[in-house]
C-alpha cells in the first residue's frame, strides 16, 4: 500500500483566519483543529472510539511521560503508539521541551547534552537530547513530530529569554538533522522568544531558514495575560509561512482559541477540557458551569439539550451533580466527553464561519461569553 505524503492546503480565508486540510496517511485533519491531549497514551476517562465520535481528528501524546513509562522500546515492541493505544487517528507528539520548564526542579539543561532529568516517578536519570527526543518520537511513530526546544518560564529578563531562544534554535537544527527526510511524516519547528517582538521575529526567521513542515508558537500559556499572548501572535502573524500549518501550543480556553484563530492559528491542544471535566467544570455555549454547585441539584435539564452525540443530552445537570458529589467515576467520563465534544463543536462552527466569511461576527458574539 502506498502511503499518502504529509501535506497542507489552505482552502478558505477570512482576513487572517483560515481553513485548511492537513493530509496524513492516517487521515485528513480539518483546520482550525483542536487536539485532545492523551499524555500517557490515553485521553483520560475516555475510550478512544468515543473521542473519535466527538469529531476529533488528531490527538496529542507526550514524549517525556512515555519515555518514563512505559518506555519507547515497549511501545515499539507493541507496533508503535497507534497499535499500543488502539488509536487510528493521526498523533502529534510533543518533544519533552515543556517538561524542561514544568519539571525544572528535576532537570538540568546542558547545551550539548540536552535536558538531564531525574524521573518524577522513581528518580532514575534520563538524558533527553534533541537527537534522543527525535529517536523516541520516531519509535512512537507519530505523524507530527516536534523539535526539542527549551520552553522558558515567563520572565521580563531579556537576556534569559534571548539565551533560551538561541538554545532552542541550536536544538532545532539538531532535531532537523536527526529527523532526516520522511515525506509521510512532519517535523514542526517551535518559535520562542517570550513576550519580546524582536526575539519572536528572529526565532521565526531562523526556523524558516532551516525549513520545517509546520511552525508552532511555544512559550505561551505560561502565566501571561490573554492580551499579551495575542500581542505575540499579532507581532508574527504576517510573517508566518502561508503554506505551512501554524500551531499554538498548550492553548487554551474557548476565548483563547477564538482570538488565536482571528490571528491565523490552525492547530491547538490543551488539557483544559479534559482536566476541567474531571473536576466538575463544563464548557457550554452559554458559558462555563460548575456542576458541583448546589443550584443544579434540582435542575433536570441537560447541559446542552441540542447535543445528541454520544447520548450526552440524556444526562441531567441534577444527575451529574449527584455523580460528582458522590465521587462516581462516571462523572469524569461524562463531563470529559461533554467538554471534548463542545470543543469540537466550537472548531466546526469556527470553520463554517470562516468559509462563510462571517468569522469576525462569530468571534465578537462569543469571545466574551465563552
Catalytic positions, written as ranges: 94, 269
The rounded distance, in Å, linking the Cα atoms of 271 and 337 is 13
Give the burial string for 172-201 (b: 16+ CB within 10 Å, else e).
bbbbbebbeeeeebbbbbbbbbbbbeebbe
The backbone region for 108, taken as left when phi is positive above 0, alpha when psi lies in -120 to 50, beta otherwise, is: beta
User: For residues 54 and 337, is the Cβ–Cβ distance under 8 A?
Assistant: yes
- For residues 216 and 189, the answer to whether their CB atoms sit within 8 Å is yes
Mention every residue, 6+ apart, whose C-beta is less than 8 A from residue 166.
none
C-alpha cell belonging to residue 75: 511501545
- What gap in Å lies between CA 324 and CA 364, rounded to an integer? 34
**Distance (Å) of CA 336 to CA 274, 286, 339:** 5, 18, 5
Q: How far apart are CA 327 and CA 293, in angstroms?
A: 14
With CA atoms as reference, report the closest residue to 130 among 201, 190, 78, 206.
190
CA quadruple 170, 233, 249, 216: dihedral sign: negative
Give the integer Cα–Cα distance in Å for 238 and 252. Answer: 22
Confirm if 308 and 245 have CB atoms less than 8 A apart: no
CA distance 370 to 351: 17
d(CA 233, CA 260): 7
Nearest to 269 by CA among 124, 29, 92: 92
Angle, alpha carbons 133-88-279 (nearest 5°): 75
| Beta bridge mates, 187 | 145
Amino acid at each position: 500500500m502506498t502511503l499518502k505524503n504529509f501535506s497542507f492546503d489552505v482552502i478558505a480565508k477570512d482576513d487572517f483566519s483560515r481553513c485548511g486540510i492537513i493530509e496524513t496517511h492516517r487521515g485528513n485533519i480539518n483546520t482550525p483543529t483542536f487536539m485532545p491531549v492523551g499524555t500517557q497514551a490515553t485521553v483520560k476517562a475516555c475510550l478512544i472510539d468515543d473521542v473519535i465520535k466527538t469529531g476529533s481528528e488528531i490527538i496529542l501524546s507526550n514524549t517525556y511521560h512515555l519515555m518514563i513509562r512505559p518506555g519507547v522500546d515497549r511501545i515499539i515492541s507493541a507496533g508503535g503508539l497507534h497499535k499500543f493505544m488502539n488509536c487510528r487517528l493521526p498523533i502529534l507528539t510533543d518533544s519533552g521541551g515543556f517538561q524542561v520548564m514544568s519539571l525544572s526542579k528535576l532537570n538540568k539543561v546542558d547545551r550539548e547534552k540536552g535536558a538531564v532529568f531525574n524521573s518524577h516517578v522513581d528518580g532514575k536519570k534520563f538524558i533527553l537530547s534533541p537527537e534522543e527526543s527525535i529517536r523516541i518520537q520516531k519509535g512512537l511513530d507519530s505523524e507530527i513530530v516536534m523539535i526539542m526546544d527549551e520552553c522558558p518560564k515567563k520572565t521580563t529578563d531579556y537576556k534569559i529569554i534571548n539565551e533560551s531562544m538561541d538554545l532552542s534554535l541550536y536544538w532545532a537544527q539538531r532535531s532537523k538533522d536527526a529527523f532526516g527526510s520522511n515525506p509521510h511524516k512532519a517535523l514542526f519547528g517551535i518559535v520562542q522568544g517570550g513576550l519580546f517582538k524582536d526575539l519572536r521575529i528572529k526565532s521565526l526567521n531562523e526556523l524558516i531558514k532551516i525549513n520545517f513542515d509546520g511552525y508552532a508558537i511555544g512559550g505561551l500559556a505560561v502565566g501571561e495575560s490573554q492580551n499579551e499572548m495575542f500581542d505575540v501572535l499579532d507581532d508574527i502573524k504576517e510573517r508566518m509561512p502561508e503554506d505551512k500549518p501554524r500551531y499554538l501550543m498548550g492553548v487554551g480556553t474557548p476565548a483563547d482559541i477564538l482570538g488565536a484563530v482571528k490571528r491565523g492559528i490552525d492547530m491547538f491542544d490543551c488539557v483544559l477540557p479534559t482536566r476541567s471535566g474531571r473536576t466538575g467544570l463544563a464548557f457550554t455555549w452559554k458559558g462555563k458551569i460548575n456542576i458541583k454547585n448546589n443550584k443544579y441539584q434540582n435542575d433536570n435539564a441537560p447541559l446542552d439539550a441540542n447535543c445528541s452525540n454520544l447520548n450526552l443530552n440524556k444526562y441531567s445537570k441534577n444527575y451529574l451533580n449527584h455523580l460528582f458529589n458522590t465521587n462516581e467515576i462516571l462523572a469524569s467520563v461524562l463531563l470529559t466527553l461533554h467538554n471534548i465534544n463542545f470543543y469540537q463543536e466550537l472548531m466546526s462552527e469556527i470553520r463554517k464561519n470562516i468559509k462563510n466569511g462571517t468569522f469576525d461576527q462569530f468571534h465578537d458574539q462569543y469571545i466574551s461569553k465563552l
